[in-house]
Structure 1
Amino acid sequence: MKQDIDIKTADGMAKAAVFRPDNGASAGSGVIFYMDAMGPRASLYEMAQRLADAGHIVLLPDLFYRFGAYGPFDGSAFGNPASRETIMTMLRGTTQQMTRNDSAAFLDALSAAGAKGPAGVVGYCMGGARALTAAAAYPDRIAAAASFHGGNLASEAEDSPHRLAADIKARVYVGAAGIDNSFPPEQSARLAEALRTGGVDHIIENYVGMSHGWTVPDHGVYDETGAERHWKRLLNLFDEALA
């Protein structure tokens, strides 16, 4: 069941959707779903509902709310030069620090929606780094964090999530695309070292043969077998860490 809401942040009003189980499952724990760069849309709503039906209250916020109305885009948007430029403008204009600050309001919105206990976070593409950053920023409120085909998780940038590893108390799962220029092997090794040195309970798993975006149904590189594997890993993480 999807419910549209508005969340007041320090910078304005963020549109978001709250999902509760449609299948009669009881929902106690909350999860923030950090979008990919194409923004909230039918395919992400489908994924959020599946996560809710596993027994969670799921919040899917529009991270690009500062730009007002846009799109709608889908997984093919990067193939259109005009759409790509619009998306990149919003991506460059929505910093990690902005989403980090917003995440306090997102966590409060989850609690207001009825979520109990520490939350989980999951992010895809650009959302992967934001999920890990949120886990570091709110260690007492986030117990599990997952990233799938997240880009630049251990880059040279000052706001790269790997620099925050020592602040993370959550269990972490990173599902890396086997073919992904935004998260090459050297970044995977750097992230693994940071998480291990920081004492973080974590798994980094390489999905061989999968391309960036393989989990999202409206992407041209969507792979059903790989997507189902991702669901098993994600649901298991939340079942164990949010129980």
Structure 2
Amino acid sequence: MCDQHTLEDDIEFLKKSGQLSRRQFGKLTAGAAAMAILPPVANAQDVMEMDVTITTPDGVADCYFVHPMGRRAPAVLMWPDILGLRPAFREMGKRLAQSGYAVLVVNPFYRSAPSPVVPEGASFQDPDIRSIVMPMAGQLNARTHVSDAQAFVSWLDQQGPVDTNRKIGTMGYCMGGPIVMRTAAALPERIGAGGSFHGGGLTTDNPDSPHLGIPQMDAHMLIAVAANDDERDPESKEILRAAFAAANVPAEVEVYEGAMHGWCVIDSAVYHEEQAERAWGRMLAIFETAL
């Protein structure tokens, strides 16, 4: 998950790679991150998009819902990273919908504020931005993850554009990774596939560690690990692989070489298009067979 260590790693990587000068670093810490343009979707479907509100046990969540026009589609529940629901994740959700899925992108911080909780172009490298999102993230825990997942899946199953005869996918970034794990464990009858992209805290010593829910899963899982996250905690991937194998849960657990924490998100300073596209392609392939 995003913390001071990953922040320092990412800045050092950008400096060494020549992607970040001293002047650019000053702009970056002031929140001047740019958003990459996503590659076009082959045979992209026409989609309908809308802002929606969903009642949960803790309040009303504002979300973004986008789906193919003219037909029912399998649903995907998308959990953003620590900067929350914003234009980058709307674009990513829309792109997935163009590939044939009814996508709900949620505001995980609805208990604190409506989205977006940070201004467009905000960067986690900016201490002012961290002071906004870190307390919000601190309000979330295993209980809120599960109760939110139950409310969002229930909402999806009531929507006309969703094909309820097919299982639901879920994917999460950074702090969304553990939520994906808990969603799949809490709702095995509905969740058929899940993907964690540079997710943090998937294996911990706590009694509610996300990996302990693996035996309850009935989903094909993709765990895409950032290279610097693996360097800091190389045992985590082995714990996950062993747990998935013991539970007979199909899973890909892979370290994406040269990809830093945050590499999959299009407004991240360390966005790595080649590796992000590879991870996206693997998720699409899993969705194709599991949903």
Deviation at 1:96, TM superposition (A): 2.4
Q: Is 1:2–2:31 an aligned residue pair?
A: no
Deviation at 1:177, TM superposition (A): 0.9
2:263 corresponds to: 214
Residue 85 of structure 2, aligned match among 31, 37, 40: 40
Q: What amino acid is aligned across from residue 91 of structure 1 in structure 2?
A: A
Task: Look up the SS of the partner of 1:180 in the other structure.
Answer: helix
CA distance in 2: counterparts of 1:131 and 1:221, whole angstroms:
22
Task: Look up the SS of the partner of 1:79 in the other structure.
Answer: coil
2:24 corresponds to: none
Task: Look up the SS of the partner of 1:139 in the other structure.
Answer: coil
Change (3 A) 1:192 1:25: farther
Residue 230 of structure 1, aligned match among 252, 274, 279: 279
More deviation in 220-229 or 151-160? 151-160
More deviation in 114-123 or 178-187? 178-187
Contact 1:152/1:183 (<8 A) preserved: no
Contact 1:26/1:55 (<8 A) preserved: no
1:95-134 to 2 correspondences below 5 Å: 95-114=141-160, 115-116=162-163, 117-134=166-183
Q: Is 1:57–2:106 an aligned residue pair?
A: no
Deviation at 1:25, TM superposition (A): 8.0
2:131 corresponds to: 85
1:66 corresponds to: 111
More deviation in 54-63 or 192-201? 192-201
- Alignment RMSD (CA, Å): 1.8
Deviation at 1:63, TM superposition (A): 1.0
Task: Look up the SS of the partner of 1:157 in the other structure.
Answer: coil
1:148-227 to 2 correspondences below 5 Å: 148-180=197-229, 184-227=233-276
CA distance in 2: counterparts of 1:19 and 1:77, whole angstroms:
26
Name the % identity.
36
Residue 185 of structure 2, aligned match among 116, 136, 144: 136
Q: What amino acid is aligned across from residue 3 of structure 1 in structure 2?
A: M
Contact 1:15/1:61 (<8 A) preserved: yes
Change (3 A) 1:58 1:202: same
CA distance in 1: counterparts of 2:289 and 2:209, whole angstroms:
27
CA distance in 1: counterparts of 2:98 and 2:72, whole angstroms:
8
The number of aligned residues is 240
5+ residue gaps, structure 2, are 1-47
CA distance in 2: counterparts of 1:103 and 1:233, whole angstroms:
23
Deviation at 1:136, TM superposition (A): 0.2
CA distance in 1: counterparts of 2:167 and 2:220, whole angstroms:
12
CA distance in 1: counterparts of 2:231 and 2:94, whole angstroms:
28
Deviation at 1:174, TM superposition (A): 0.7
CA distance in 2: counterparts of 1:75 and 1:161, whole angstroms:
31
